[in-house]
A and B are shown apart, each in its own frame.
Chain A
Amino acid sequence: MGKITRRLMMFGGVAAVGGGLAVGYALLPYTTIDRARKLAGKSGETMLSAWVRIGTDNSVTVIVPHSEMGQGVHTSLPMMLAEELDADWSLVRMEQAPADMAFANLGLARGYLRGDKSIPSWMSGAADFGFRKVAESMNLQITGGSTSVRFTGVDGFRRTGAAARSMLIAAAAAKWSVPAGEIEAKLSKLTHASGKSATYGEMAEAAAAIAPPADAPLKAKKDYTIVGTPKARFDIPAKVDGSAKYGLDLRLANMSYAVVTASPVFGGTLKSVDEAPAKAMRGVKQVVKLPDAVAVVADNTWRAKEAALALKPEWNEGAHASVSSKSIYAAMDAALDAGKFEADHSVGDVDTALKAATKVVEGAYRVPYLAHATMETMNCTAQFENGKLTVWGGFQDGLGARAAAAKFAGIPIDDVTLHHTAMGGGFGRRGSTLNYLKHAIGVARAVQGPVQVVFTREEDMTQDNYRHASVSRMKASLDDKGKVNAWLHQFSEKFDPPEATMVNYDFAHQASRYVTGLNPIPWGPWRSVDHTQMGFFIETFMDELAVSAGQDPFEFRRAHLNGAPRHKAALELAASMANWSTKPAEGRARGIAMREAFGTIVAQVAEVSLGEDGRVRVHNIWSAVDPGEVINPATFTAQIQGGAVYGLTAALYGEITIDKGRVVQQNFPDYDMVRMADAPLHEVRFIESGARTGGAGEPGTAPVAAAVGNAVFALTGKRIRELPFKNFDLKTGTKIASL
């Protein structure tokens, strides 16, 4: 480990790890602080650190480097900082940091460097901008992998709050000539027994002259007054009166609107297009040809959209024109048959144990491609002026997007300004996959003034970066006491996070292996990433093993969790919340599943019935959640519930199919969603085990498909081994869709 300097601690204590890397990390924060001050410092206010500003009016402005997607991070991070600062919460405000290097997510970089396994590696590759890995992690401002609270919050905001507090106390001690230990800091006020007192604002300037301490003590949890209590989110009022401005809501003087149509076959290019039909239409200003797309620029979105429909572009379809879901699945199955595996993880000796076993159970599973379908379609507004580029839009990683914009435009990053707008959903789509930014820059090059490039819903659905389709084969042996001895998981395609394939049960022998190179469709991280399919594969098979062993699915899991007390406690709580030991009402059944994702354990029970139409209705979900600790309980509950709805949509309806290299589904009528009538009652309870803080946004998604499928099995005795359930008559277990 390199040396931790004082200045570095202010940024979350970036500890450089050995060798050449140490220099970059040691240097960056020094240059960073000045730059951060310049960007965020305002007159009348003193910048105490890059992440908090205390105004002479006693206001506390917390500068958050992450994007708000509805997960509440613009409120929970300030809560963590304000707690350590002992600020008066009513005085706390939030500002989103500009997309500048000064706000690179050093907390994340630090977690990454110390090898925390649960940082998804897709984030380190968030941008293939030609940076080396170190530079990449310095450039991360990403919101994804449920990292905001876990890394920025724990490593950065808490320490920053504590350091700021101790600087204020030190300043008061010097001014009043009293020992620092005698000063109390509470509710944004400093007081001393002598009767002296000052607000933080009054002491802010003096405190700024004090060197930030590296080791200001953090509060004990029992002393918390802000963290752990429900706080209203800062972003909500603007979201109930129509005043929140999303990317699509940007209105600039002289702005035009463009609708793009990209090659429907991934990797295809534009061969030719007759522009005349579009140009003849009212309001159309120009047609812009891009290498892989054509755009119609008009004076409003609707006219651009109608004119885009009038074009009949021809494409060079390229190498993927013949792929289909069928051919992709067939290739995956063939690769699994051929058995050229990449090693994933392995404990013990699975192959020998399986060979020696007397009872072996097998299962084969499959899941399709999925689109993100954020409620606000992809869009970006861009303008070139004097060789400089300005972009406006919703980005999960503002800094990464800025670097990508520079690369797409072929200009230095300092010539790119990026403005964040509110984001109508992210779920991974607005992170590292930026075709909407690329198109916007391409169109803006050809257009005078700002241009808002809009994906129609159809374009959004067919030009996404998809959760990959995957095929899984499971094999496990049961001993004569009905315990699993060996567990082997072989599947196609592994992305991230690496630990998503891990199983938390105590199996003496376990291994996972995969085949790869079989996905011709653009991939992107999708809420909970590989946990989505792994949750379904692993927890469905676990249920099959319980049945084979003649055991209750809850008791069977529980018996395999002696080495995982947190998991066991969550499982037990979920079962007791659901009254697992009692019989459900006539016509209903329950299923159970659990998953640890992004540091948070979620055990779920689902209770279902079947409709006349053979479709499943999920009445209730009970989730027992151990995220280590809960910052804002209201937000966390909503994230677990919302995450489960996202996973339930995938389980019930979600299916993107490929035909002739194209995405078949176009819009919500053929890519349906869970709506109010489908949404279960969902009770969430937390276990604050004190373990390192886990994520909120994604863990609720991972177990739900298995919990529902296991409940369907309990009801019907029919095991559904592929998603989505809409393709089956669940009463008979027969497939009613063709693929």
Chain B
Amino acid sequence: MITITVNGAPHEVDVEEGMPLLWVLRDVLNMTGTKYGCGVAACGACTVMVDGAPVRSCSFPAALAVGKAITTIEGLKSGETLHKVQQAWIAEQAPQCGYCQSGQIMAAVALLNEKPQPTDAEIDAAMTNICRCGSYAQIRAAIHAAAKA
């Protein structure tokens, strides 16, 4: 049994030591906003924040998150108000199929926490998530818009 704290709420889960956080979120807690894309830390679809830092949850054992604050896409809103990054994503109409976008948004939130006014080069360096639909132009514009908001 381990206890992990997701979006402020503690959850006691009975899982193996090595079970990645991604699958605990998706299949044990049924929080499916965090996505599976590759399982090998290569695509970023599974990005969540652990103590504010972006983490590829497919390759991060849930046991390592014990005692830390996990934030997922479901936890970005405050009340009914979307996070400014989510709002910018809507304003720029960034998602196409949308599947990568939870991870993209989490990576962007983490970037903006670190660098509130990122340059294009900083966006290139931090945003290494794959979008197979190719929505990069809209994502870049949305990050700049959120930085101004």
Contacts and interface: CB of A to CB of B under 8 A. Distances in A.
Nearest to B86: A240
Interface in A626-658: 634-635, 638-639, 641-646
A202 interface: no
Contacts of B138: 638
Interface in A24-46: none
Given A375-B131, A424-B97, A668-B40, A242 B23 contact: no
Contacts of A244: 98
Interface in A211-233: 232-233
Nearest to B142: A240
B144 interface: no
B40 A676 contact: no
Nearest to A424: B99
A125 interface: no
Nearest to B88: A240
Nearest to A305: B39
B100 A375 contact: yes
Interface in A347-400: 373-377
A479 to B, nearest CB: 41
Nearest to B127: A676
B38 interface: yes
A283 to B, nearest CB: 9
Interface in B34-91: 34-40, 42-43, 45, 72-74, 76-77, 82, 86, 89-90
A301 interface: yes
B129 A675 contact: yes
B26 A301 contact: yes
Interface stretch (A97-105, A245-253, A325-333): A245-253
Contact of A241 (B28, B42, B73, B134): B73
B120 to A, nearest CB: 9
Contacts of A69: 96-97
Given A374-B132, A646-B132, A242 B102 contact: yes
Contacts of B32: 242, 245-246, 248-249, 251
A239 B136 contact: no
Contact of A302 (B23, B31, B125): B23
A52 to B, nearest CB: 24
B19 A239 contact: no
Nearest to A666: B40
Interface residues of B, number: 59
Q: Residue among B42, B74, B132 with the most chain A CB within 10 A? A: B132
Contacts of B98: 70, 235-236, 238-239, 244, 422, 424
B132 A248 contact: no
B136 A457 contact: no
Contacts of B45: 375
Contact of B27 (A71, A243, A245, A301): A301
A150 interface: no
A6 interface: no
Contacts of A248: 26, 32, 35-36
Contacts of B20: 302
A241 B133 contact: no
Nearest to A682: B137
Q: Residue among B20, B93, B124 with the most chain A CB within 10 A? A: B93
B123 interface: yes
B18 to A, nearest CB: 9
B99 A251 contact: no
Contacts of A682: 137
Nearest to A70: B96
A456 B123 CA distance: 29
A673 interface: yes
A667 interface: yes
Contact of A668 (B35, B43, B72): B43
Nearest to B130: A673
Contacts of B100: 375, 424
Contacts, number: 180
B33 A243 contact: yes
Nearest to A634: B93
A257 B90 contact: no
A305 B28 CA distance: 15
A94 interface: no
Nearest to A231: B93
Interface in B93-119: 93-102, 105
B139 interface: yes
A233 B132 CA distance: 19
B127 A240 contact: no
Interface in A248-287: 248-249, 251, 257, 282
Contacts of A643: 134
Contacts of B23: 300-302
Given A251-B32, A302-B27, A667 B40 contact: yes
A641 B90 CA distance: 18
Nearest to B137: A641
Given A374-B132, A644-B134, A681-B137, A668 B33 contact: no
Given A301-B26, A376-B99, A676-B139, A242 B133 contact: no
Contacts of A233: 93
Contact of A642 (B26, B31, B40, B133): B133
A585 B98 CA distance: 36
Contacts of B93: 232-233, 236, 634-635, 638
A456 B58 CA distance: 12
Nearest to B72: A242
27 contacts: A69-B97, A71-B96, A72-B96, A239-B101, A240-B89, A240-B94, A242-B31, A242-B34, A243-B74, A248-B36, A251-B32, A305-B39, A373-B132, A374-B132, A375-B100, A641-B134, A642-B96, A642-B134, A643-B134, A645-B136, A646-B133, A667-B38, A667-B40, A667-B42, A668-B38, A675-B129, A676-B129
The 9 lowest CB-CB distance pairs between A and B, nearest first, are A242-B33, A645-B134, A70-B96, A424-B99, A239-B98, A642-B134, A70-B97, A300-B27, A242-B73
Given A375-B35, A645-B131, 17 more contacts: A236-B98, A240-B105, A241-B73, A241-B74, A248-B32, A302-B23, A375-B130, A376-B35, A638-B135, A642-B133, A645-B133, A646-B132, A667-B38, A673-B130, A673-B132, A675-B127, A679-B134
Interface of A: 69-72, 232-233, 235-246, 248-249, 251, 257, 282, 300-302, 305, 373-377, 422-427, 456-457, 634-635, 638-639, 641-646, 667-669, 673-677, 679, 681-682
